[in-house]
Amino acid sequence: MSGVDPYAPQSGDAGYDVVSYDLTLDYRVRTNRLQGTAVIAAVAAEDLTSVVLDLVGLRATRVRVGGAPARFSAAAGKLRVAGPRPLAPGEPFEVEVAYAGAPGPRRSRWGAVGWEELTDGALVAGQPIGAPTWFPCNDRPDDRARMTLRITVDDGYTVAATGVAGAVSRRGGRVTSTFTSDVPTATYLAAVHVGRYRTGALSGSGAAGVPAVTVTAPPVLAAAADRAFAPVPEMLRVFDRLFGPYPQEACALVVTADELEIPLEAQGLAVFGMNHLVPAAQRLIAHEIAHQWFGNSVGIARWSDIWLNEGFACYAEWLWSEASGGRSADDCARGHHERLTAKPQDLLLTDPGPDDMFDDRVYKRGALTLHALRRSIGDDRFFDLVRGWTAAHRHALVGTDDFRAAVRAAGGADAVELLSLWIDRAEVPSLP
């Protein structure tokens, strides 16, 4: 437990830490109606007389604490639950919430985020504060938990969601799919995608050290998806060599029948719009897959450290370009460095501020930081550093100071000084 994030002070509660979410959801696509029951197992981090959950746009209808009915109230995106007795620090407890409504995205300084209706289906765009639009949660990036999702939809629709796909049952024209995630998952990385899809194995995956990859797409887009994702097995082999073993329990790629502005990563999953099934979007596939190492396994405790997620994922684009016969990483870096130096020099990578946390300068400067380190300490020590980083912090939380320590171990004081030039000052340094 490390408290509410200052970039999103409206989200989360520092008084407890969640151990697991068990979600049972029933969704009607035609009417956009969601009914759910969430069972939240948690541990008190301080003396608690009530438990506060994030829940936006949906109405709780019944709440139990430890199996007993509990009083509750809702206002301003918060569900406040009064327990039958005070809870002491370290004491486990369980809250069950029944809720319903018409889910939709919430407005935020980062645009509309959360549950989103598609032409014939739905998706979740959870980053950074969209999770409460579809389930009650402690919406903090540092409060990761195991998850079980049971999602029921009308027959004819397919569900892809966070976790390992399990049992599928049919009853009365309805289909229930189960997904389980035993790795700690941040609420913003939990996702559900519903559409008239089919799911199949990606050719070339699941053998020779490559994890099995599933592709969920509309049948009419299946051939285009197979072509677009054909490089993914080799991409995973390259990233395995550079970053270490694939860290997730699943590797699922989803394609919507709608166009999407950007692809979106979730735990063990990424979703793309039909407009991303083109050769020019291959760098975006590399970016989202790299997030399974950086952001989804090695996770950040504070949004101010988001460069550790996006810098690595952006650099993975350049590494894949180099490995697949395209432009070298150095050529990519020098082109982006020239463009970056032409932009305003008013962004601090270690604390970009909430309004600029998704600014493209965070992504590109983060990637350039890594390339500068690589040039400075050499390929062998740089990739040893990266593999050690993903191994030491597998499914754990990190901050920039943790990375400084890793850089010091790999390259000494000179490497730390170089790192500081890139992340602790607003001006963009020269590339080595």
User: Three-state SS across 13-67?
Assistant: CCCEEEEEEEEEEEEECCCCEEEEEEEEEEEECCCEEEEEEECCCCEEEEEEECC
End-to-end CA separation in angstroms for the chain: 39
When pLDDT is averaged across residues 311-320 and rounded to a whole number, the result is: 98
- Residue 116 within any structural domain of the chain: no
When pLDDT is averaged across residues 287-297 and rounded to a whole number, the result is: 98
Residue after which a domain boundary falls, among 259, 292, 325: 292
User: 410 to each of 206, 314, 367, 381, 422, how far by Cα in Å?
Assistant: 33, 22, 18, 6, 17
Which element (helix H / strand E) includes 154?
strand 145-154
Based on the domain organization, do 90 and 33 belong to the same domain?
A: yes
User: 104 to each of 25, 119, 316, how far by Cα in Å?
Assistant: 15, 14, 33
Secondary structure tally for the chain: helices H, strands E: 8, 23
- Residue 385 within any structural domain of the chain: yes
Residue after which a domain boundary falls, among 141, 168, 191: 191
Based on the domain organization, do 330 and 234 belong to the same domain?
A: no
CA atoms of 386 and 368, how far apart (whole Å): 15
Based on the domain organization, do 25 and 174 belong to the same domain?
A: yes
pLDDT of residue 4: 87
The helix/strand/coil state of 403 is helix
Residues 258, 259, 265, CA angle at the centre, nearest 5°? 95
| Strand 121-125, strand 192-195: pairing | antiparallel
Based on the domain organization, do 210 and 268 belong to the same domain?
A: yes
Based on the domain organization, do 181 and 211 belong to the same domain?
A: no
CA atoms of 215 and 270, how far apart (whole Å): 10
- Residue 20 within any structural domain of the chain: yes
Range of the domain at 33: 1-106+123-191
Token pair 């997620």 in the structure block, residue: 309
Q: What is the CA radius of gyration of the chain?
A: 22
Based on the domain organization, do 166 and 131 belong to the same domain?
A: yes
Based on the domain organization, do 93 and 128 belong to the same domain?
A: yes
Query: Would the pLDDT of 60 be above 60?
Result: yes
Sign of CA dihedral 123, 126, 130, 134: positive
pLDDT of residue 379: 98
Confidence category of residue 1, pLDDT binned at 50, 70, 90: very low
CA atoms of 21 and 93, how far apart (whole Å): 12
Token pair 């930081």 in the structure block, residue: 369
- Residue 97 within any structural domain of the chain: yes
Pick from 177, 142, 141: which is nearest to 162 by CA?
Answer: 177
Based on the domain organization, do 310 and 399 belong to the same domain?
A: yes
| The two three-digit tokens of residue 91, written as one number | 């004491």
Based on the domain organization, do 287 and 302 belong to the same domain?
A: no
- Residue 235 within any structural domain of the chain: yes
Based on the domain organization, do 70 and 102 belong to the same domain?
A: yes
- Residue 432 within any structural domain of the chain: no
Q: Is 222 exposed, middle or buried (0-12, 13-18, 19+ CB in 10 A)?
A: middle
Domain count, the chain: 3
pLDDT of residue 208: 83
CATH number for the domain that contains residue 259 = 3.30.2010.30
Based on the domain organization, do 182 and 50 belong to the same domain?
A: yes
CATH number for the domain that contains residue 74 = 2.60.40.1730
For residue 280, how far is the Cα from the chain centroid? 23
CA atoms of 168 and 139, how far apart (whole Å): 29
Based on the domain organization, do 140 and 279 belong to the same domain?
A: no
Sign of CA dihedral 175, 176, 178, 179: positive
- Residue 117 within any structural domain of the chain: no
Q: Is pLDDT larger for residue 4 or for residue 133?
A: 133
pLDDT of residue 209: 82
pLDDT of residue 370: 98
CATH number for the domain that contains residue 365 = 1.10.390.10
Global pTM reads 0.97
Task: Please give the mean pLDDT across all residues of the chain.
Answer: 97
pLDDT tens across 370-426, in order?
999 999 999 999 999 999 999 999 999 999 999 999 999 999 999 999 999 999 999
pLDDT of residue 91: 98
- Residue 113 within any structural domain of the chain: no
Query: Would the pLDDT of 127 be above 70?
Result: yes
Residue after which a domain boundary falls, among 254, 276, 292: 292
CA atoms of 321 and 336, how far apart (whole Å): 14
